[in-house]
Structure 1
Amino acid sequence: MLSINTLEGRIKVSFAIKGMEQYFDGSWSFGIAKLVTKYGKYFLHIPMTKEIVTPDINLVNKVVGIDLGINFLATAYDSKGKTIFFNGRTVKHKRAHYEQLRKKLQQKGTRSARKRLRSMGSRENRWVCDLNHKITKALVNQYGPNTLFVIEDLTGMRSAAEKVHLNNRYTSVSWAFYQFRSFLEYKAAMSGSSVIAVDPKYTSQTCPKCGHTEKANRDKKKHIFKCKTCSYTSNDDRIGAMNLWTTGIEYVSKVTLQASFTA
Structure 2
Amino acid sequence: MTEQILTVKVRLKPTNKQAEQFDAVSEFYRQACNIVSAWYFDKHFAVARKDFNKDMYYLLKNRYPKLNTAMIQSTYRTVKARYDTVKTQLVKKPYRIWSGKYDDNKRKRYLSIKRDLEWLQKPIMFHRPQADYLRNINYSFTRKYSQISLNVLGKRIKVDYCHNFNNLLFASNSSLGTAKLVNACGHWFLHIPVAFDVTKLNNSQINHVVGIDRGLRFIATCYDEKGKTLFVNGKKVLETRRKYKKLRAELQAKGTKSAKKRLKKIGQRENRWMTDVNHRLSKTLVNHYGKNTLFVLEDLTSVTFDTTKNRRKDNRYEHSSWAFYQLEQFLAYKAQLKHSKVIEVSAQYTSQRCPKCGRINKENRNYSLHLYRCDRCGYSSNDDRIASMNIQYLGTEYVTGNPKPRFISK
TM-score after normalising by structure 2: 0.58
Counterparts of 1:157 and 1:21, CA distance in 2: 41
Aligned residue pairs total: 256
Return closer, same or farther for 1:39/1:179 CA change in 2, 3 Å cut-off: closer
Which stretch has the larger CA shift, 53-62 or 197-206? 53-62
Q: Which runs of 5+ in 2 are unaligned?
A: 1-146, 404-410
CA deviation profile, 1:57-83 (whole Å, cap 9, x unmatched):
121111000000000011111111111
Give the alignment partner of residue 185 of structure 1, picking from 328, 332, 353. Answer: 332
Give the alignment partner of residue 248 of structure 1, picking from 395, 401, 407. Answer: 395
> Secondary structure of the residue that 2:400 maps to in structure 1?
helix
Question: In structure 2, what residue type is equivalent to 1:26?
Answer: S
Counterparts of 1:188 and 1:112, CA distance in 2: 43
Report 1:115-194 matches (<5 A). 115-160=261-306, 161-194=308-341
TM-score after normalising by structure 1: 0.88
Matched, 1:81 2:227: yes
Greater length-normalized contact order (CA 8 Å, ≥ 6 residues apart): 1
Return closer, same or farther for 1:42/1:254 CA change in 2, 3 Å cut-off: closer
Report 1:85-124 matches (<5 A). 85-124=231-270
Give the match for residue 15 of structure 1: 161
What is the CA distance between 1:150 and its match in structure 2? 0.8
Counterparts of 2:346 and 2:388, CA distance in 1: 13
**Are the aligned partners of 1:157 and 1:173 in contact in 2 as well (CA < 8 Å)?**
no
Counterparts of 1:246 and 1:150, CA distance in 2: 9
What is the CA distance between 1:37 and its match in structure 2? 4.9
Which stretch has the larger CA shift, 213-222 or 22-31? 22-31
> Secondary structure of the residue that 2:369 maps to in structure 1?
coil
What is the CA distance between 1:132 and its match in structure 2? 1.1
Give the match for residue 32 of structure 1: 178
Q: Which runs of 5+ in 1 are unaligned?
A: 257-263
Give the match for residue 260 of structure 1: none
CA deviation profile, 1:2-29 (whole Å, cap 9, x unmatched):
1234579644344333366234313222
Give the match for residue 48 of structure 1: 194
Return closer, same or farther for 1:106/1:21 CA change in 2, 3 Å cut-off: same
Counterparts of 2:317 and 2:365, CA distance in 1: 23
Return closer, same or farther for 1:213/1:255 CA change in 2, 3 Å cut-off: closer
Which stretch has the larger CA shift, 16-25 or 236-245? 16-25
> Secondary structure of the residue that 2:309 maps to in structure 1?
helix
Which stretch has the larger CA shift, 4-13 or 93-102? 4-13
Return closer, same or farther for 1:255/1:59 CA change in 2, 3 Å cut-off: farther
Question: In structure 2, what residue type is equivalent to 1:187?
Answer: K
> Secondary structure of the residue that 1:79 maps to in structure 2?
coil
Return closer, same or farther for 1:38/1:200 CA change in 2, 3 Å cut-off: closer
CA deviation profile, 1:184-209 (whole Å, cap 9, x unmatched):
11122222112111111121221111
Question: In structure 1, what residue type is equivalent to 2:220?
Answer: A
The percentage of counterpart residues that share the same residue type is 48
CA deviation profile, 1:29-74 (whole Å, cap 9, x unmatched):
2233344455665433322233444321121111000000000011
For the pair shown, the structure with the greater C-alpha radius of gyration is: 2
What is the CA distance between 1:89 and its match in structure 2? 0.5
Give the alignment partner of residue 198 of structure 1, picking from 345, 349, 368. Answer: 345
Counterparts of 1:3 and 1:53, CA distance in 2: 33
**Are the aligned partners of 1:72 and 1:88 in contact in 2 as well (CA < 8 Å)?**
yes
Return closer, same or farther for 1:115/1:12 CA change in 2, 3 Å cut-off: same
> Secondary structure of the residue that 1:80 maps to in structure 2?
coil
Counterparts of 1:39 and 1:107, CA distance in 2: 26
Counterparts of 1:110 and 1:159, CA distance in 2: 33
Counterparts of 1:208 and 1:71, CA distance in 2: 21
Give the match for residue 366 of structure 2: 219
Question: In structure 1, what residue type is equivalent to 2:351?
Answer: S
Which stretch has the larger CA shift, 17-26 or 57-66? 17-26
**Are the aligned partners of 2:217 and 2:233 in contact in 1 as well (CA < 8 Å)?**
yes
Return closer, same or farther for 1:96/1:40 CA change in 2, 3 Å cut-off: closer
Give the match for residue 261 of structure 1: none
